[in-house]
Structures are given as structure tokens and as C-alpha cells.
Structure 1
Amino acid sequence: MDLGSPLSVAHLLRASAPLDVVVGASVADRVARGRAYLRTVLADDERPVYGAKTGFGALVGFAGRATEADQCDNTLAHLGAGQGPDLPLDIARAALLVRTWSLAQGLSGVSAHVVEGLAAMFATTFVPAIPRYGSVGASGDLIPLAYAAQALRGRGHAYLDGVRLPAAEALASAGLSPLELDGRDALALVNGTSVTTAATALALSSIRASHRAVADLTCLLVDVLGADPGFLDPLLISAFGHPGAFAVSADMRGLLEGTRPSGERPLQEPYSIRCSPQLLGAAEDALRYVDGVVLADLGGVSDNPLFFPGDDLVAHGGNFFGQPAAFAADVLAMVTASLGNLAERQLDLLVDPARNTGLPPMLAAGPGQQHGLQGVQLATTAFVAEIRRNVLPASTQSLPTNLHNQDVVPFGTQAALRSYDLAELLRLLCGSLALGLRQAVHVGGRRPTAPRCAALLDALTDAIEPVDPDRPLDVDVRVAADVVTGRQW
């Protein structure tokens, strides 16, 4: 990717593998202009520059260290206070791509070799080891990004080809040189919401795929049961008035085109079927809001201060305050809870002979001698409970810190990482429902009459053997999740 072009979620998804990141002439020029302006400002004793001439945070009223190299250490050393397991490597790489793009806008005053060194890193499998806990997402993701900066300097630990090593060894093996940083470089690397933005973006991508999968599986459920798709009528949905419901129901009608109701179902289906376009549509509207927040975050510069050479302005402010992503990630968690609950309720309906038009209990091929989806259904209950336990909004939990310099904080990092985790549970719920639908046809459910629903069933049938006799189904759930969330049909 070219750092002179807009950054997208697709770029972040590709960043987990080696990626060609280009520092073009226009990028190099604006980074150089920003750096030259910084030098001019630093030479003026009358102009204060936070972090380059001062201490940090609550200690801004004190002078920083005398030399630029020492000021780098002054920035990073005290931030080595993170704890817990390392972040998933895809988040760490995506976060650094977000950070690189932000620095490449030329408003941070960083050295050209910092942007070039970061770009070179993406051509390798190098990933800094970043502890999960320690960020409040207020002055950016200070602690996690400090670990990234230290690893790029050859300190701490990093991964190469998925193996955790001392960072200096990983750099050498990757053919990379340790980054040399001054105080402004170091502060610019850590003073942004890049971890929060990256985790939110990756969670959004996964949850969007699961959202599509739940809509597809709802259609397959309707067809397998022989239900009437009249609850998707365009006049009905238009009267509802919500754009997300209209868009989702249109897609669902397309998938169900050609279906023939069996006439054996009740006039009105349970809400998990009949109200699915309203629920899925509300989720679509919410996801569109998150789309906008992520797009703005990816196109913005999160740092402090910012340098505007053309206006002779050093602007001290709060562009590192991750409140937008905090709200967005909390919305993602709520969407995940509702989608996960819908998938679990649909599976519960499917395994219940009182509601599944006479299919055997638990979809067992020989009830009593076999137990079919009984274990999977138990697991889905646990998944939903885990999602619900973690859906409490993080963005409302502000706590003052840093001698009340950071007297309000967004906790966007917590919200984003939590939504990233919950996205995987939602994938498993999709896989569980998909497995149930594949099994339902094996034990007497009708073959779908809509061609596209039949294609979805055939993809599941090709990937997964029927549960007959019983076997462990953990791998099958994950395979089914891959089929439906990747739309491999």
C-alpha cells in the first residue's frame, strides 16, 4: 500500500502478513517539511513544545532531559508498565500500520527514517510483543505503543514468523536495523489511539461477516423448516421505516427467492424468525455508524502536539483522546450480544421437536443412542452468557489518573479489545447454527427449495460430515463458521 493513499480496513486485514508499504515522494516531502518546521520551533526558546522540551503528562511543568536521545528514554522508560498476555499479533501489526499512516501525514514532526523504518518492518513478519493491559485510551495507547517502540529499538521482545524472541534478535533475523529515536519521535509513536483503532476495525470486519452469516442462516432456517417468508414483504418492511431493515430484508428476499412454504408452519413464526429483519436491520444501522467512526479514525491524525508549517502553528490539544472508537466499540459489543442471542435462539428452535416441525430432539440420528447437537447447544448457551457478561459499556467507566491531568478517560482500548474477543464468540455461534442446519436436513428436514439456500446447504454438506454417529464437534463448528462467515458458497 502507498502511505499517500487513504487507509482502509482491508489494509489492516492484510497487515498480519508481509505487506509492501510504500513511502512515495509526496509522503517523504511532507514528512521532511514537518520535521524541518519542528527544528525551527525547537530553536526558538520562546516557543514551548510539549514532550520535546518538557516532561510528560502531569510533569509537563518540568523541563525534560537535555539531549534528544535521553529525551527518547525519558518518554519510553516509565511506560514499561504493561501486564498480561501479549496482544494478538494481527492487532499489533494493524496498530503499527495505523500509527505509520498517521505519522506519514507530516503533522507529527517525526524523522523521515522513522516512517521509512516502519514501512520496512511491514515487508517482514516482525511483530512487537505488546502486553494487553495498561492503556486507558486517553493520551493515546501510551503503554502498549511504548512496548512497540521499544521493540523497534531492539528492546523487550518481539515475534518473528510467530516465534517470540528478544527484540534485538528478531530485528537482526528479519534484516531490520533498530530505530533510532529522539524525544519527538518517541512521543509521536506512542501518543495515538492506534491500538484502539486497529482492534475496533478488526472487530468490525469480523462482526460484519457474522452479521451477514446470521442473515444467510436465518434464510436457510426458513427454507429448511418450510416457513412462509412473508415477514420479509417489502411493503411491510418499508412501513417499518428503518433503512437497515430495508437493506437486510432485500438481501434475505434475494436468498430466499424460489422458496416454497410447506404449509405446515404456524401463521406467525416465533420472533427469532418473524422479527429477524427488524433485529438484523437495527444491527446494520448500528454497524453503519461504526463504519463511519472507523473510517474517520483511519483517516485522522492522533497525536499531540501537531505541527502545521504553512500556518506557523504548533497546536497542543487532544486528538489522542479515543472517545469515538470507545463509543463505537461499545456499540459493536451490543450488536454482538443481539446477533449471538438470535443465533442461539434459532438453534434452540431447531433442536426442539415441539417447534421444528417434527425433527428429532437435538437433531439426533437415533435419540437416546445418539445425542446429535446436544453438546453444541449447551456450548452456545455458554457463549451467549460470556458475551452478555462482557457487554457492559467501557466508555462510561471513566476514572481520573495521572495526577488528574487525565481527569476523564474514554477506555476505548478496553472496549475495542473486548469487542475483538466477542467477535470470535459470535463466529462460533454462527458455526453452531450452521452445523445444526446441516444436521437438520440429514435427520429429516427438507432440502431447501430456494437455489441460493440450497447452495449454502451444499457448501456445508461438502465441508462437514453428518453427525451420525456422535463425535466431538468442536472442529466442525469452526469449519462451519469459516464456510458461512467467509461466504464460501
Structure 2
Amino acid sequence: MPTTHPTTAPVDLGVPLRGDDLRRAAAPLTVLVDPALRARLDRGRAHLRSVLADDERPVYGATTGFGALVGYAGRADEADQCDNTLAHLGAGQGPDLPGALTRAALLVRARSLAQGLSGVSGHVVEGLAAMLATTLVPAVPRYGSVGASGDLIPLAYATQALRGRGHAYLDGERLPAAEALRRAGLAPLVLDGRDALALVNGTSVTTAATALALDRVRAAHRALSDLTCLLADVLGCDTGFLDPRLIAAYAHPGAATVAERMRATIAGAVPSGERPLQEPYSIRCSPQLLGAAEDALCYVDGVVAADLASVSDNPLFFPDDDLVAHGGNFFGQPAAFAADVLAMVTATLGNLAERQLDLLVDPTRNTGLPPMLAAGPGSQHGLQGVQLATTAFVAEIRRAAVPASTQSLPTNLHNQDVVPLGTQAALRAYDLAELLWLLTGSLALGLRQAVHVGGRRPTAAGCAELLDALAEAIPPVDPDRPLDADVRRAAELVTGTRC
């Protein structure tokens, strides 16, 4: 029997996935393959069989070689054709992908195949569902995909692990894949050439990484709108920069959405009268900045939703029309653009958080609070180490935020003469989202400390509630102590997510 039983609501592969489904895939998850879905799979499979029975109808990957070798015949034996598909793709390198990401990618793959247009055997989708009900995670190296003909190399490693080859994790332990399957109570997948190609010929790793990164960035975005309100209230700023008439005149929908949320959080705040007429941009322009991020994130929302509903494979089989359509539905350009946008948003939000913390620790700009928010400057150093770390985080984000989607590099004997590099874009966005999460936690910790060293208690009920939650979870920095765990605790509290 599987080592761990799912405890959350099931996922129905008959409907498009949601971001929440991908998050929950990190733990054992019940995935439904109902009779109607199985019938759809069987119908697509029967169509493939009828096409293969006609010697005049070649099917890429089932009767042919792969990629640039499509003009050559494949192997006649179906099991051999499976090996022919997967063996040459065992060229990945680097550390293994995070388990949560690998499992999310296989859930995305299961949904794509379950739509019945890939001609796969029904037991392939059922096998993926069975795996997701356990703690098993195929060991998949990070480097090797260009996101063009799908995430070929990483998905090949995942597929080989499900066949009992390579390695996999079970309950966090890295094992030979055959042993991990045995302990999990799973039978190795038996595949033919079409099954094997369908498992690897899609952008499921790219989609999953983009979706999970989006989730983290959205959580940080919401938290930063709240923390900006708390900053303004603690410093005693006038809240006129959120006036609904001012924001309406700006005419950007994201700014209106963000400002409405911020007004609700800061409602009731009383200005101290000690601040300048116009605040620095990191406060005064925050609804415009966060609003632009909101508009960009809405674009990414749409791309991710489309990817999660799509069939990413080649060829596709349409039984009603007796059609085998060879094309490019494995091409990850939409996610590449979306992940690049996500990286730009992350860089801008991270810069905002770092600038706000810098303002907060500077006695020339923070209405007289001690430097570095130290309880005893000199004998104590308060947030000095945290502020240094945030500088490093922002520098790392900026260095990595160069768009990947513009870096197309031909490969595969120019069969893949344009490539989106969506996998690079998505994995980069996934990594940067964690740095943004840490920047958000750093600002939250600074605000908790600011009130301890003389900052006023928030006058807005929403801001006071947020401060009290932080104060309950995190003791003041007095005396100095290592703050790495506190930054993570604060980030988890204000974003509602873990990294």
C-alpha cells in the first residue's frame, strides 16, 4: 500500500487545474480518473491504433525517429520504441528539482494527457494518479530543457523513474527508483513509444514552475500592500496618497484595485503631523507601483490558466475527424513571456520592500527612530544584518531578471531553430519568488522592531491587527540575536505561504 494516504479534497482531471491544485500536489493527493474520462482515453487510444494499422499514415514518435531524426524509421517493437524515446534524453545535469515542483509538473502532465487527445493508454494517467497519492517524487535534474518540444529531458527522468529506472524520493529519502516504487506500493509503468513520447512532449515543468512562482509572488504582493500601510501608519504619514479621486484620475485598474485594499487596511489612521508634505516614492507612489504589478500579474494569471487547461503534446489525435495533427502545441512561448514578466514584477516588488526597510532603519527619514532600529545603538545592532542581506537579495534578483524568452538558441540540427527557453524563465521566476518572500519577511520584521524601539503604535485597526500578529509570533530584537529564522517566520505570517 502507499506509504501515505491523501487527506485533502480530490482533484478531478476532467476539469482544468487551478493553482491551488498544484500547491496541494506537494503532499499525497487523490486524483480522480472517472469512467467518463477513462472512456475518453480509450477512444483516443483506439483511434491511434486504427491509424497505426494503416501503413500509409506515419505518426511522429510512434513509427519514426525523434526530433531531427524524424525522417528515419523508429523501432518496430513498441517496448523498444519506448526505450528509443527515453534513453537518449538521459542527459540532464545539476541538482534535483524541488519535490513540490516535480509533483506539480506531473499533475499538469496528467491533466494534459487526460483530455484524450494524446492517444495514450488509460493506465498511463491512472499510474500518474496512483503516484500522486503517495509521497513518491521522481529525481529530476534541473538543467537540460529549452521548453520547445516540451520539457523533454526533465520529463524523461520523471518517466524513467515511474518505470523503475533512475532514482526517486520516498518520504524524503533518495532511493533507486525501483526500490522507491516497491516501498510505495506502485507498479512500474509499462509504456510503448506513443505513451513515452506523450509523457515527455509537453511543457509541464515550465507550466508548473510558472504557476507556483505566480502563487508566491501574488502572496508577497498582497503582503506588501498591507506592510506599506503599516509602515505609513507607524511613521504617521498622511494617507492622502490613497485618495480614491486621485487614484481614479490615474485610470489604471490595478492601481484602483490595490488602493482600495490599502484604504481598507489603513482606514482610521491618524497622521502625526510630523512627516513632510510629500513622502518618498516608496510610500507615496506605492499604489501606482503595486497597481502596475497587479495589472502585470493579471496577465500572468491568464497565461497560467490557459496553460493549465491546454493539451501540450505533439501529435494530437481527433477521433471524430479521423485526424492526426502534427504541430507545435508543446511550444512554451506563452509561459516564457509570462515568467519573464513575473521576474520583472518580482524585481520591482523586491526593490520596493528593500527601499521601505532602508527608510525604516534610517534615523534621518524614519521620524527619529534609532539607527538600524537597534534597542541600544552601538552595543546592539538591531536590523543591521537583515538590511545587509536584503541588499544582497535585491542584487541577486536584478542579476537574474534578464529576460530568458529573448535568448533563443537553435538546436537539434535546426529542427528546433527557434526556442522559447520557457523552462529557464520559469525556474528562474520560481527561484526569485523565494527571494521576494524573504524580502517581504525582512520588512515585516523591521516594522515589528520599529514599534519596539519607539515607533508609534498603529492608529488604524487593520494595521494594529497586523502588528499584533507579528509581535505575538516574533519577540523584539533586544538584545541582538540571529534573525534568519525570524525573517522566515515573519514572511510566512504575512504571506500565508512557506518556502
For normalisation by structure 2, the TM-score amounts to 0.97
Deviation at 1:68, TM superposition (A): 0.3
Q: In the alignment, what sits opposite 1:474?
A: 484
> 407, 421, 425: which is aligned to 2:435?
425
Residues 1:457 and 2:467 aligned together: yes
Matches of 2:125 and 2:331, distance apart in 1: 23
Which residue of structure 1 lines up, in the alignment, with residue 357 of structure 2? 347
Is 1:367 paired with 2:365? no
Who is 2:8 aligned against? none
Alpha-carbon distance between aligned partners in 1 of 2:17 and 2:448, rounded to the nearest angstrom: 39
2:274 maps to which of 264, 268, 274: 264
Query: CA shift at 1:233, angstroms?
Result: 0.4
Q: Is 1:230 paired with 2:240?
A: yes
Letter in 1 for 2:68: A
| 1:300 equivalent in alignment to 2:304 | no
Alpha-carbon displacement from aligned partner over 1:183-213 (angstroms, at most 9, x marks no partner): 0000000000000000000000000000001
Distance 1:10 1:474 in 2: 28
Shift of 1:26: 1.2
Aligned to 1:335: 345
1:281 equivalent in structure 2:
291
- Say if 2:89 is the partner of 1:89: no
| 8 A Cα contact 2:216 2:497, kept in partner | no
CA positional deviation for 1:3: 1.1
Q: Hey, which bits of structure 1, 4+ residues long, moved more than 3 A?
A: none
Match of 1:179 in 2: 189
User: SS of 1:403's equivalent?
Assistant: helix
**Gapped regions of structure 2 (runs ≥ 5):** 1-10
> In structure 2, what is the Cα distance between the partners aligned to 1:403 and 1:212?
46
Query: SS where residue 412 of structure 2 aligns?
Result: coil
Measure the CA separation in 1 of the matches of 2:493 and 2:28.
25
Q: Could you list the runs of 5+ residues in structure 1 that have no partner in the other structure? A: none
Query: Matched residue of 1:314: which SS?
Result: strand
- Cα displacement string for residues 250-302 of structure 1 (whole angstroms, at most 9, x for unaligned residues): 00000000100000000000000000000000000000000000000000000
- Give the whole-Å Cα distance in 2 for the aligned partners of 1:436 and 1:23: 49
Q: Distance in 2 between matches of 1:338 and 1:4?
A: 38
Q: What's the offset of the Cα at 1:4?
A: 1.1
How far apart are the structure 1 equivalents of 2:60 and 2:172?
37
Q: For residues 68 and 130 of structure 1, what CA distance do their matches in structure 2 show?
A: 25
CA distance in 2, matches of 1:65, 1:48: 13
101, 114, 128: which one pairs with 2:138? 128
Question: What's the counterpart of residue 400 of structure 1?
Answer: 410
User: How many Å separate the matches in 1 of 2:283 and 2:59?
Assistant: 59
Identity of aligned residues (%): 82
Give the aligned partner of residue 146 of structure 1: 156
| Partner secondary structure for residue 159 of structure 1 | strand
Matched-pair contact (CA < 8 Å) for 2:405–2:420: yes
Distance 2:35 2:17 in 1: 17
Question: Offset at 1:5?
Answer: 2.0
Query: C-alpha distance in 1, partners of 2:459/2:173?
Result: 49
2-structure distance, mates of 1:307, 1:469: 67
The Cα offsets for residues 138-185 of structure 1, whole Å up to 9 and x where unpaired, read as 000000000000000000000001111000000000000000000000
**Offset, 1:66:** 0.9
Match of 1:216 among 205, 221, 226: 226
2:43 aligns with 33
Residues 187-245 of structure 1: CA deviation (Å, up to 9, x unaligned): 00000000000000000000000000111100000000000010000100010010000
Report if the CA contact (8 A) 2:41-2:115 is conserved: yes
Return the match for 1:247 from 257, 261, 272.
257
Query: How many Å apart are 1:337 and its aligned residue?
Result: 0.3
Q: Secondary structure at the match of 1:368?
A: coil
The CA RMSD over aligned residues, in Å, is: 0.8
1:14-53 to structure 2, matched below 5 A, reads 14-53=24-63
Q: Give the equivalent residue in structure 2 for 1:64.
A: 74
Question: Per the alignment, in what secondary structure is the counterpart of residue 36 of structure 1?
Answer: helix
Query: Deviation per CA, 1:36-59, whole angstroms, max 9, x where unpaired?
Result: 000000000111100000000000
Count of residues paired in the alignment: 488
CA distance in 2, matches of 1:258, 1:385: 37
The CA deviation at 1:133 is: 0.1
Q: Secondary structure at the match of 2:94?
A: strand
Distance in 2 (alpha carbons) for counterparts of 1:228 and 1:163: 54
Whole-Å separation in 1 of the counterparts to 2:123 and 2:382: 59
What are the residue-to-residue correspondences of 1:300-319 with 2, within 5 Å?
300-319=310-329
Residue type of the alignment partner of 1:251: R
In the TM superposition, what whole-angstrom CA distance separates every residue of 1:400-457 from its partner, at most 9, and x where no partner exists?
0000000000000000000000000000000000000000000000000001100000
User: Using the alignment, how far apart are the partners of 1:298 and 1:421 within structure 2?
Assistant: 21
C-alpha separation in 1, matches of 2:95 and 2:408: 24
Residue 192 (structure 1) aligned with residue 202 (structure 2): yes
Separation in 1, partners of 2:32, 2:251:
45
Mapped to 2, the partners of 1:25 and 1:236 lie a distance apart of 56
- 1:98-113 equivalent positions in 2, closer than 5 A: 98-113=108-123
Q: Secondary structure at the match of 1:144?
A: helix
Q: Distance in 2 between matches of 1:16 and 1:365?
A: 41
Q: CA deviation at 1:487?
A: 8.4
Equivalent in the alignment of 1:117:
127
In 2, the alpha carbon distance for the partners of 1:352 and 1:4 equals 55
Alpha carbons 2:64, 2:74 under 8 Å: kept? yes
Provide the rounded CA distance (Å) in 2 between the counterparts of 1:163 and 1:206: 26
Residue 4 of structure 2 is matched in structure 1 by none
Instruction: After TM superposition, give the deviation of residue 2 of structure 1 in Å.
Output: 1.4
Q: Which amino acid aligns with 1:430?
A: T
Structure 1 counterpart of 2:190, one-letter code:
E
* Residues 316 and 325 in structure 2, CA contact (< 8 A), matched pair in contact too: yes
Cα distance in 2 for partners of 1:235, 1:459 equals: 32
For residues 487 and 436 of structure 1, the distance between their equivalents in structure 2, rounded to whole angstroms, comes to 19
